[in-house]
Structure 1
Amino acid sequence: MIVIEGTSKVAFGEGTLSELERTIYQKKQISPFEYRYDSVDTLLFELYMRTQIMESSRALSKSGVYFADFKHSMCNPAYWDITDQGRFQLKSGVAPQDAIRDIFTNGTSYAFECSMAVVVVLYKAILESIDPEKFDIMNSDLLLFDYDSNSNLHLINRTVHEEAVTGDVLYFLNPEFEPKIPWGKGENVILMENDLVYGHGYGFGIASKEVVIKVLNNHRIPGSTQSAYLTEQYVHPDFSYFALFQCRSRNKPIIAKVGEWIYVRKR
């Protein structure tokens, strides 16, 4: 259930939410878990940024970026320096927003593995959701690697994947993976619409969860008996934090509170 300023009674006018935003809102609203927001604006920002995570996933899947393990990562040297560990360090004098956008416009100059793909998607979604100048200030020391190494994403851990909605980051674990194929130990994915996921490894692109499990199972040790599976844990950015930096030029709806009800309609 969603609770805003102490009430769960919120009415959105026609056209205030996109179809995807309404789907996300409704799933959270009927959930037995309680999701608290300090304002309607914070909720609306989260819904918007989640759609941007989905759009960024679609864009990266079509960008031409190659899959590679960290040892064989590749990037555009005009924007990034690559470290011995396969990390991408922003070049001095380069605007972070330009470097992130380059991955999507010059994808064939890049190669990285699935966890870095998730990081790239999240940074692009943040860029499209907040003021670009603030994005540059916040990420002046930008270093791309796996999402455990990117504190600038302000990720929050959750533990019940059934509650995940579009824009959350899920993980498939392959407990009996073939050691000769170390990237077969699992797959980081973005949850998309209609219960599909976006995964960069193995050329998944956008696929069903069953397809991800089937492909991972093809990389188990001989004689293995335990299937790959979707883990309970998932993560997402702290949307309420990034809402503080959203672009003020966005057209915000009219919000009115009458008694226990909050009414939101498009301007």
Structure 2
Amino acid sequence: MITISGVQRPIDTTSWSPAEIKIYEQKKNSTVTYDYETVQQLRFEMTLRAAIVAEAIALSQSGLRFADFDKAKCNEDMWTLTDLGGFLIRDDRSPAAGIRDIFANGDKYATECATAAVIAVYQGVLDSIRETDFNRLFAGLLLYDWHTNKNLRLSVHTDIEESYPGDLLYFNNPDFSPDTPVWRGENVIKIGDDLYYGHPFGIAPSQTIINGLNNNRRPGSSQTAYLTETVTQPGYVYLSQYASNRRSFISARIGLRYFISPV
């Protein structure tokens, strides 16, 4: 159920994108009450969630390669590759330009699943707030695992039944092989019902991701990988104060291909 300052009220969604409306209807039909101070805060969350989904799909098509931190790569015209395998924005480049370059020149980049998921979130935020605010909030941006900028305001709760498109989730591989520790788990973004973006799996259902992780267990292990209860999301209320003149996205699946278009 959705309430505004504690009161259920009709919400005009006629100008919303189909992706935003779908997420809104899912939360509205939940048995959990989601209370927003204003309609603007509600709308911003739906906008940002839809943008994160769209950018996760776009990142899966960008040519971004998979690598552990010791083999990470980036476009050094935009970023400095740190000793630990992170990407640190150059002083003469803006965070917005650096994030966009990953989507435009994905083949110049290689990283693991957590960093990839966070990249999609940053691009979703960039789509949803004013660029000047993005560059100010995320000055000195470092892309490295879960070492995110404090202004992203990531929060965590543990109720997978109350996860929605745009949420960051985690598949755990408890019996991963010590020879391939990079496969100890997979960070993903929820795209839809049993559909996730995980690097390097692309857009895939849960069983595909579980099978991939299970192929990297200790010899003889029968303990399967699984989707955990952990749900991570950016600070929607905090970021909503920087909302831009928004851009909506429609993402559609036709066979195994995905298409994204602004509306």
Q: What TM-score does the superposition give when structure 2 sets the normalisation length?
A: 0.90
CA shift at 1:18, angstroms?
A: 2.1
* Secondary structure, counterpart of 2:119 in structure 1: helix
Moved over 3 A (4+): none
CA shift at 1:250, angstroms?
A: 4.2
Q: Deviations over 1:159-181 (max 9, x none)?
A: 10111000000000000010100
What is the rounded CA distance, in whole Å, between the counterparts of 1:250 and 1:76 in structure 2?
Answer: 29
Equivalent residues of 1:51, 1:166 under 8 A apart: yes
What is the rounded CA distance, in whole Å, between the counterparts of 2:91 and 2:76 in structure 1?
Answer: 12
Which deviates more, 147-156 or 26-35? 147-156
CA shift at 1:22, angstroms?
A: 1.7
User: Which residue number in structure 2 is paired with residue 61 of structure 1?
Assistant: 60
User: Which residue number in structure 2 is paired with residue 258 of structure 1?
Assistant: none
What is the rounded CA distance, in whole Å, between the counterparts of 2:96 and 2:105 in structure 1?
Answer: 14
Corresponding pairs, count = 247
User: Which residue number in structure 1 is paired with residue 9 of structure 2?
Assistant: 9
Equivalent residues of 2:138, 2:149 under 8 A apart: no
Letter aligned with residue 225 of structure 2: A
Letter aligned with residue 90 of structure 1: I
What is the rounded CA distance, in whole Å, between the counterparts of 1:63 and 1:32 in structure 2?
Answer: 38
Q: Deviations over 1:51-85 (max 9, x none)?
A: 10011101111110100000000001111111110
* Secondary structure, counterpart of 1:197 in structure 2: strand
Which deviates more, 34-43 or 22-31? 22-31
Q: Identity of aligned pairs, percent?
A: 43
CA shift at 1:147, angstroms?
A: 2.2
What is the rounded CA distance, in whole Å, between the counterparts of 2:154 and 2:42 in structure 1?
Answer: 17
Q: How does 1:77-96 map to 2 (within 5 A)?
A: 77-96=76-95
Query: Are residues 150 and 11 of structure 1, via their aligned partners in 2, closer, same or farther at CA, if it must alter by over 3 Å?
Result: closer
User: Which residue number in structure 1 is paired with residue 231 of structure 2?
Assistant: 234
Letter aligned with residue 136 of structure 1: N
What is the rounded CA distance, in whole Å, between the counterparts of 2:58 and 2:18 in structure 1?
Answer: 19
Q: Deviations over 1:216-249 (max 9, x none)?
A: 11111112121100000110101111100011x3
Residue 44 (1) aligns with residue 39 (2): no
Q: How does 1:1-267 map to 2 (within 5 A)?
A: 1-12=1-12, 15-200=14-199, 203-247=200-244, 249-250=245-246
What is the rounded CA distance, in whole Å, between the counterparts of 1:181 and 1:38 in structure 2?
Answer: 46
Query: Are residues 3 and 242 of structure 1, via their aligned partners in 2, closer, same or farther at CA, if it must alter by over 3 Å?
Result: same
What is the rounded CA distance, in whole Å, between the counterparts of 1:19 and 1:55 in structure 2?
Answer: 12
In the alignment, structure 1 segments of 5+ residues that lack a partner are 252-267
What is the rounded CA distance, in whole Å, between the counterparts of 2:141 and 2:160 in structure 1?
Answer: 29
CA shift at 1:151, angstroms?
A: 2.5
In the alignment, structure 2 segments of 5+ residues that lack a partner are 248-263
What is the rounded CA distance, in whole Å, between the counterparts of 1:250 and 1:213 in structure 2?
Answer: 36
RMSD: 1.3
Q: Deviations over 1:31-50 (max 9, x none)?
A: 12221100001000110111
Q: What TM-score does the superposition give when structure 1 sets the normalisation length?
A: 0.89
What is the rounded CA distance, in whole Å, between the counterparts of 2:224 and 2:15 in structure 1?
Answer: 43
